Structure 1
Amino acid sequence: MNIKNMVTIKSVKTILVVFALAVLAACANTAEDFAKAGDWTSVGYSDGVRGKPHRTAGDFKEYDGVNVNDYADGYLKGVQEYCNPNHAYQIGLSGSYYEGVCEGTADSQKFRMEWQRGWNDSQLNQ
């Protein structure tokens, strides 16, 4: 297998991964759906796994019975998944902006570098 074929296969795999993530995101419930259902762990997880900043109880003032502890537990689990540096390149390549939620984690520098590499590549392809 020559280098050109390897690059083409890698490009196809990258496109398929980005497409799969987009389809999953489109099918997923939104944080607001979970909030309406009172599932605060899922609200937090949804925010965290998408790399969104941690919300406060005031952000949910239109909802009754906000459980900030459940939200925080879910958020932590979501951020742990999001901050995996092995996925950071794909996040950047997809054009998703990084909002700094991985700062303070063990792999924050590696995550940021891989995200930046993907982001730079996404900007070249526009």
Structure 2
Amino acid sequence: MINFRNWFGGMVVSLLLLGCSASEQSLATQGDWYQIGYRDGIAGHQQRSYRDLHQLGAVQMADYDEGYDDGVTKYCNPDFAYQIGLSGQYYDGVCAGTSAGNQFRMEWQRGWDQYTSH
């Protein structure tokens, strides 16, 4: 017998993941490289290379870089770093070199330590 909850939950997750990648491709098709960069930055991801982005289409690197910088600026707010660590999100060092980078890392580490101690 099929466990409906597990099957349905798996389908929802699959559709959400498919929707995320489709929306990124859609943004690239529309030429909205700022938004792609912003999404990478606000999620705390490392900046992608031209080669990686070119797989999505005719990349506008300056737009991507501007969006990425804006996203990282919002992500690196030390007021939210503790919660990011506490939620189990790994920190990839994107705030290093920013004015709040050290404070962000310390607050994230405090949350991460509590997350991993459970």
> Fold-level match, TM-score > 0.5?
yes
Matched, 1:32 2:32: no
After superposition, the CA RMSD in angstroms is 2.0
Between the aligned partners of 1:40 and 1:72, the Cα distance in structure 2 is 8
Unpaired stretches in structure 2, ≥5 consecutive residues: 1-15
Q: Deviations over 1:83-104 (max 9, x none)?
A: 0000000110110110000000
Match of 1:62 in 2: 55
Unpaired stretches in structure 1, ≥5 consecutive residues: 1-25
Between the aligned partners of 1:63 and 1:105, the Cα distance in structure 2 is 29
Q: Per-residue deviation at 1:52?
A: 0.4
Match of 2:12 in 1: none
Match of 2:43 in 1: 50
Give structure 1 regions of 4+ aligned residues with deviation exceeding 3 angstroms.
28-31
Q: How many residues align?
A: 100
Match of 2:68 in 1: 75
Report 1:1-126 matches (<5 A). Answer: 29=20, 32-33=24-25, 34-125=27-118
TM-score, structure 2 normalization? 0.76
| Percent identity (aligned) | 47
TM-score, structure 1 normalization? 0.72
